[in-house]
Amino acid sequence: MASSSERRLVLLKRIGYVPDIIDAPDIKEDIRKNETPDAYVKRIAKEKAESVYQRHKNSYIIAADTVIFSGSKIYGKVDYKDEAFKVLNKLSGKKHRVYGGICVISPNKNISIKRIVTQVSFRKINSKEIQDYINTKEWVGKAGCYAIQGIASKFVKRINGNYDNVVGLSVIDADKMLKGIKA
């Protein structure tokens, strides 16, 4: 598994996959100028998988990436509380899309890549609620500064699509890709 994400590991284990090796990829996750969220998540998932494949060439590699898209802006992970506040404030009372990218590479370098989109609607969140949430630190390391499976679930008014994609990995798609790729 090309990831350091505990959430993705839990999701894979939930459907019966226990990676032999968990190896965090070392890549830059910068968004390119005019890059769409669709292109971004597929590119980053592939770069993560290829990075780890170089160290484990006789293995099946699975990698994923998740970003939030709202308005015309891609939101990944942020490093600071004030950035997290701004992102959550922008998502408050609005719909956004969660883009997930998955890449699977087989030992003979067959590559399968997929993009999944889920729409999420947030209720209006006031400044105190955002600050209280930020103080929990649950947002750290999360695309869009929230974890739908945690405390932030109380902000979610509606979801249209794959819930696991919002958590970090669409298990139905990951399972299909892992079963379908040729060694």
CA distance 57 to 154: 43
Residue 43: both structure tokens together: 């590119």
CA distance 84 to 107: 39
Question: Taking a C-beta distance cutoff of 8 angstroms, is the pair 100, 168 a contact?
Answer: yes
Length of the chain: 183
Is 65 one of the catalytic residues?
yes
Candidate list 23, 65, 164, 173, residue with the active-site label? 65
CA distance 42 to 62: 12
CA distance 137 to 133: 7
Active-site residues, by number, are 65
